């Protein structure tokens, strides 16, 4: 491929977990130089949630962290220390984009909010991703993944027919997953504007709004008709004659969508193994698909497309949701160890020398080990 | 509202091609991607078959006729009806695409082969990855949620798997196609050759559901729907339901909030113990919810930093204080439907929202 779309763009990445860290990961995938900032006192929580052992260096082995942060460089700088804050303001001069999903106010209090950073770099595009957005009475509300299934409306349409609503749950946390798919595109739009006009932007994303946006037609219909009442609808869909998951003779589930009603479908599936039923339905032009699980997905290389890839250490990591010029993702570097590139980046961008780097390390501004206790 | 010319994508021209007989779940993804660009100011021309985009007749329908789905997905666009089965229609399309920056279309479209060669950068929406070589395989929203492993995650383990509400497979792909489209425009804008973009619904669904693969790879066991054994469950309250959600570090605050002596039992103090005794745990949690409203629950929980989620319906979201305060919902004056209220793009850009303009009438 020729020069990548975001070649020459540098990202200062405060993104944590999925919503923030994945937005900057998608920018890295498009060629941006992403430098992720953590600190010994505050790791990306994915390092902790994904803890698989208690041996030395455990914070560098989390699968969830590895999945999301490949192709980034990693710095550890203490954001609570005025010296750490000063280093970050210096770095911001050399960056085009900031991505952050702290609770509102955290970076402002550290002197690292949009106001302070745009003062040193007016071209900066600052993407603030939060639960409820940067304004409004609920701006300080906390949420975690499936909280937003509930408050966005998605849960109200999910569940068995006539029963209580359902959420996607902690192994999916669906609203966290979709925000980066939208936010990345908006950041790119703002970067192209900043190149053209010299002016950056403050981009205020509410994850709850992104999730509600996926129900736009239902909100619109309710505004036109106050009687537009909805409830969990199982696997049915308005405008579709018949649709459900049916259990096959081998106990496996098959999802089927029919243009015309067929009362014999449950019995048809119950009388055959899933693979046999699937082939027969597809041959008749009926949309059918197996309800796969994680192991199935790992096995089916063709179905995976470009969504999974291995890094140079052989670890499985997140690939791409799309392909550019037909190709998938090259993993240029695995997810960084805590503080792995601190010295490299501070030399390269700020010209720090050995004495300065030693002083930062001795005073605890930089580090490669967590200062938090047992987790 | 600022002039359309000052909108961020005002310099760009996009053609969205609706060929006849393309699966609806692909159409919705294409339309969403183009709608986002149109609301941001791009000149989006939607090519429809002579009888109109089938989404014009898709539910939810509006009481005065027309489709809420169509109105939502086609804001701020222009429309032109072309019969792509005829040579004249294809010639007109080719000349329009020649002048555009990007052309969006679906893999099974009859004109796909020629659009892939266009001067405009092609953004192609497909159902399945290239490696499956399955352009003609029947597909639906449900089939994609099944194939991507999402259905396996929702519901009770002993009962059928469930889809998430809404058109999540289509819309996640539509958001992805928008970001791909922006990557192409950024490359063009910087004077580089833009990469072609291909988005398949099946790949997007797996990418969104990545913890299924990462969990299975790490432990050898596929994560799956846990229903009544899940740590996060739904409890009824006085005026509806609330999702009980809290992280490990939020457990002490959660216990204090509920204030039931049974929760002080040491078996609940660590996560493993709470999982082992989940039915008992929820029996102790439930009474606190039963006599309170969603609003009371949210206020009390947020005061302690506990992220419980009251469940709202789309109709209730129209009244949500937070959405009103942020102006997330736009009132759009429609020539035949009166005023429609709908979500705007979920971003504020230097405090500015992007008010959508009504979807186009069908015009030849």
CATH of the domain at B14: 3.40.50.10540
CA B197 – CA B125 distance, rounded (Å): 9
B160 and B246 both lie in a single domain: no
Q: Which of B62, B162, B250 sits opposite A234 (nearest CB)?
A: B162
What are the tens digits of pLDDT across the range B115-158?
999 999 999 999 999 999 999 999 999 999 999 999 999 999 99
What pLDDT score does A204 carry? Answer: 98
What are the tens digits of pLDDT across the range B220-234?
999 999 999 999 999
B171 and B65 both lie in a single domain: yes
What pLDDT score does A313 carry? Answer: 81
Mean confidence (pLDDT) of chain B: 96
Q: Which of B180, B237, B286, B339 to mutate to test the interface with A (most CBs of A within 10 A)?
A: B180
CA A178 – CA A23 distance, rounded (Å): 10
Examine residue B310 and state whether it is found in any structural domain, yes or no: yes
Whether residue A373 is predicted with pLDDT greater than 70 in this model: the reply is no
Structure letter (DSSP) for residue A157: G
Whether residue B5 is predicted with pLDDT greater than 90 in this model: the reply is no
B207 and B259 both lie in a single domain: no
- Structural domain containing residue B298: 231-315
DSSP one-letter string for A192-235: HHHHHHS--EEEEEEHHHHHHHTTHHHHHHHHH-TT------TT
Region B257-285: mean pLDDT is 96
Region A161-184: mean pLDDT is 96
Whether residue A374 is predicted with pLDDT greater than 70 in this model: the reply is no
**In 3-state terms, what secondary structure has residue A73?**
strand
B192 and B45 both lie in a single domain: yes
Contact B214 A67 (CB under 8 A): yes
Q: Which of A218, A223, A292 sits opposite B149 (nearest CB)?
A: A292
What pLDDT score does A52 carry? Answer: 87
Region B55-60: mean pLDDT is 96
Contact B340 A220 (CB under 8 A): yes
Query: What's the sign of the alpha-carbon dihedral B319, A145, A228, B329?
Result: positive
Q: Which of A143, A246, A306 sits opposite B307 (nearest CB)?
A: A143
What pLDDT score does A1 carry? Answer: 47
Region A123-138: mean pLDDT is 98
B25 and B167 both lie in a single domain: yes
Whether residue B1 is predicted with pLDDT greater than 50 in this model: the reply is no
Examine residue B162 and state whether it is found in any structural domain, yes or no: yes
What pLDDT score does A314 carry? Answer: 84
What pLDDT score does B20 carry? Answer: 87
Q: What residues does B45 pair with on adjacent strands?
A: B15, B78
What SS3 string covers chain B?
A: CCCHHHCCCCCCEEEEECCCCCCHHHHHHHHHHHHHHHHCCCEEEEEECCCCCHHHHCCCECCCCCEHHHHHHCCCCEEEECCCCCHHHHHHHHHHHHCCCEEEEECCCCCHHHHHCCCCEEEEEECCCHHHCCCCCCCCHHHHHHHCCCHHHCCCCCCCCCCCCCCHHHHHHHHHHHHHHHHHHHHHHCCCCCCCEEEEHHHHHHHHCHHHHHHHHHHCCCCCCCHHHCCCEEEEECCEEEEECCCHHHHHHHHHHHCCHHHHCHHHCCHHHHHHCHHHHHHHHHHHHHCCCHHHHHHHHHHCCCCCEECCCHHHHCCCHHHHHHCCEEEEEECCCEEEEEECCCCEECCECCCCCCCCCCCC
CATH of the domain at B253: 3.30.1540.10
Examine residue B327 and state whether it is found in any structural domain, yes or no: no
Contact A165 B241 (CB under 8 A): yes
Whether residue B2 is predicted with pLDDT greater than 80 in this model: the reply is no
Closest to B167 in 3D by CA, of A22, A26, A240: A240
B137 and B284 both lie in a single domain: no
CA B248 – CA A84 distance, rounded (Å): 29
Q: Which chain B residues are closer than 8 Å to A201 by Cβ?
A: 349-350
Examine residue B196 and state whether it is found in any structural domain, yes or no: yes
Region A208-236: mean pLDDT is 92
Q: Which chain A residues are closer than 8 Å to B202 by Cβ?
A: 303, 305
CA B148 – CA B151 distance, rounded (Å): 8
Region A27-55: mean pLDDT is 93
What are the tens digits of pLDDT across the range B240-259?
999 999 998 899 999 999 99
> Which residues touch A75 (CB under 8 Å, ≥6 apart)?
A35, A36, A37, A38, A339, A341, A342, A345, A346, A366
Instruction: List the structure tokens of B74.
Output: 């086609």
B248 and B198 both lie in a single domain: no
Region A139-167: mean pLDDT is 96
Q: What residues does A205 pair with on adjacent strands?
A: A129
Instruction: List the structure tokens of B224.
Output: 């799956």
Pair B153, B225: CB distance under 8 Å: yes
- At residue A2 the predicted structure's pLDDT band, cuts being 50, 70 and 90, is low
Pair B103, B121: CB distance under 8 Å: yes
Total residues found in chain A within this entry: 375
B206 and B236 both lie in a single domain: no
What pLDDT score does B130 carry? Answer: 97
> Which residues touch B204 (CB under 8 Å, ≥6 apart)?
A181, A321, A322, B148, B169, B172, B173, B176
Which residue of chain A comes nearest to B348, CA vs CA?
Answer: A204
What pLDDT score does B3 carry? Answer: 53
Contact A220 B328 (CB under 8 A): no
Q: Which of A45, A134, A151 to mutate to test the interface with B (most CBs of B within 10 A)?
A: A151
> Which residues touch A278 (CB under 8 Å, ≥6 apart)?
A254, A288, A289, A290
B242 and B145 both lie in a single domain: no
Contact B149 A228 (CB under 8 A): no
Which residue of chain A comes nearest to B71, CA vs CA?
Answer: A217
% of chain A beyond a pLDDT of 90: 90
- At residue B326 the predicted structure's pLDDT band, cuts being 50, 70 and 90, is very high
Mean confidence (pLDDT) of chain A: 95
Which residue of chain A comes nearest to B130, CA vs CA?
Answer: A305
Examine residue B70 and state whether it is found in any structural domain, yes or no: yes
Structural domains counted in chain B: 2
Examine residue B330 and state whether it is found in any structural domain, yes or no: no
Q: Which chain B residues are closer than 8 Å to A217 by Cβ?
A: 60, 67-69, 71-73
Q: Which of B116, B314, B356 to mutate to test the interface with A (most CBs of A within 10 A)?
A: B314
Q: What is the ipTM of this complex?
A: 0.97
Q: Which chain A residues are closer than 8 Å to B69 by Cβ?
A: 217
Which domains occur in chain A, in start order? Answer: 10-215+305-362 (3.40.50.10540), 242-296 (no CATH)
Examine residue B148 and state whether it is found in any structural domain, yes or no: yes
B96 and B239 both lie in a single domain: no
Number of A/B CB contacts below 8 angstroms equals 491
B165 and B265 both lie in a single domain: no
- Listed residues B185, B212, B239: the one ending a domain: B212
Query: CA neighbours within 13 Å on the CB side: how many for A305?
Result: 28
Contact B321 A138 (CB under 8 A): yes
B201 and B242 both lie in a single domain: no
């Amino acid at each position: 491929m020729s020069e990548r779309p975001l070649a020459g763009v540098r990202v200062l990445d405060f993104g944590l977990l999925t919503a923030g860290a994945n937005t900057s990961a998608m920018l890295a995938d498009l060629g941006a130089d992403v430098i992720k900032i953590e600190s010994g006192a505050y790791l990306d929580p994915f390092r902790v949630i994904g803890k698989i052992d208690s041996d030395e260096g455990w914070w560098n082995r989390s699968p969830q962290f590895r999945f999301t942060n490949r192709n980034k460089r990693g710095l550890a700088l203490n954001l609570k220390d005025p010296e750490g804050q000063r280093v970050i303001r210096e770095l911001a001069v050399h960056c085009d984009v900031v991505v952050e999903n702290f609770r509102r106010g955290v970076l402002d209090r550290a002197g690292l909010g949009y106001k302070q950073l745009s003062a040193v770099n007016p071209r900066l595009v600052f993407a603030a991703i939060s639960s409820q957005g940067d304004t409004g009475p609920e701006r300080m509300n906390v949420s975690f993944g499936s909280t937003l299934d509930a408050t966005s409306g998605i849960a109200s349409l999910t569940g068995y027919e006539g029963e209580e609503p359902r959420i996607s749950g902690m192994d999916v946390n669906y609203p966290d997953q979709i925000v980066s798919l939208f936010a990345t595109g908006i950041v790119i739009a703002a970067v192209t504007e900043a190149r053209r006009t010299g002016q950056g932007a403050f981009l205020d994303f509410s994850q709850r709004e992104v999730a509600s946006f996926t129900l736009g037609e239902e909100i619109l219909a309710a505004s036109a008709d106050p009687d537009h009442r909805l409830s969990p609808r199982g696997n049915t869909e308005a405008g579709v004659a018949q649709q459900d998951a049916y259990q096959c003779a081998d106990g496996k589930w098959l999802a089927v969508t029919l243009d015309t009603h067929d009362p014999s479908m449950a019995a048809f599936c119950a009388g055959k193994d899933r693979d046999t039923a699937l082939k027969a339905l597809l041959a008749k032009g009926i949309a059918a698909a197996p309800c796969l699980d994680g192991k199935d997905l790992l096995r089916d290389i063709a179905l995976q497309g470009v969504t999974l890839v291995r890094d140079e250490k052989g670890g499985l990591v997140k690939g791409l949701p799309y392909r550019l010029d037909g190709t998938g993702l090259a993993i240029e570097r695995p997810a960084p160890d805590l503080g792995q590139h601190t010295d490299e980046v501070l030399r390269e961008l700020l010209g720090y020398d050995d004495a300065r780097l030693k002083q930062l390390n001795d005073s605890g501004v930089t580090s490669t080990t967590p200062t938090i206790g047992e987790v | 509202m600022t002039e359309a010319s000052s909108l961020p994508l005002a310099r760009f021209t996009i053609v969205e091609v609706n060929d006849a007989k393309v699966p609806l779940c692909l159409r919705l993804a294409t339309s969403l991607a183009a709608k986002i660009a149109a609301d941001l100011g791009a000149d989006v021309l939607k090519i429809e078959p002579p009888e109109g985009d089938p989404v014009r007749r898709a539910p939810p329908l509006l009481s005065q006729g027309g489709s809420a789905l169509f109105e939502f997905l086609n804001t701020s666009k222009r429309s032109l009806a072309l019969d792509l089965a005829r040579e004249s229609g294809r010639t007109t399309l080719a000349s329009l695409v020649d002048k555009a920056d990007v052309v969006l279309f679906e893999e099974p479209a009859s004109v796909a082969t020629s659009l892939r060669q266009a001067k405009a950068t092609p953004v192609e929406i497909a159902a399945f990855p290239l490696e499956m070589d399955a352009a003609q395989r029947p597909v639906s929203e449900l089939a994609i949620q099944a194939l991507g492993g999402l259905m396996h995650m929702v519901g009770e383990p002993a009962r059928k798997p469930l889809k998430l509400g809404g058109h999540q497979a289509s819309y996640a792909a539509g958001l992805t196609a928008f970001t791909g489209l922006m990557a192409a425009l950024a490359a063009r804008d910087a004077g580089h050759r833009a990469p072609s973009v291909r988005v398949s619904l099946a790949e997007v669904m797996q990418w969104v559901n990545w913890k299924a693969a990462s969990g299975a790879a790490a432990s050898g066991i596929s994560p799956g729907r846990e229903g009544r054994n899940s740590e996060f469950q739904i409890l009824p309250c006085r005026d509806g339901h609330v999702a009980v959600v809290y992280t490990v570090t939020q457990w002490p605050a959660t216990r204090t909030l509920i204030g039931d002596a049974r929760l002080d039992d040491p078996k609940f103090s660590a996560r493993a113990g709470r999982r082992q005794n989940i039915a008992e745990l929820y029996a102790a949690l439930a009474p606190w919810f039963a006599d309170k409203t969603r609003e009371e629950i949210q206020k009390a929980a947020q005061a302690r930093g506990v992220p419980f989620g009251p469940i709202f319906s789309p109709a209730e979201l129209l009244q949500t204080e937070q959405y009103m305060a942020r102006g997330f919902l736009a009132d759009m004056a429609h020539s035949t439907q009166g005023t429609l209220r709908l979500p705007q793009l979920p971003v504020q850009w230097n405090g500015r929202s992007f008010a959508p303009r009504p979807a186009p009438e069908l015009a030849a």
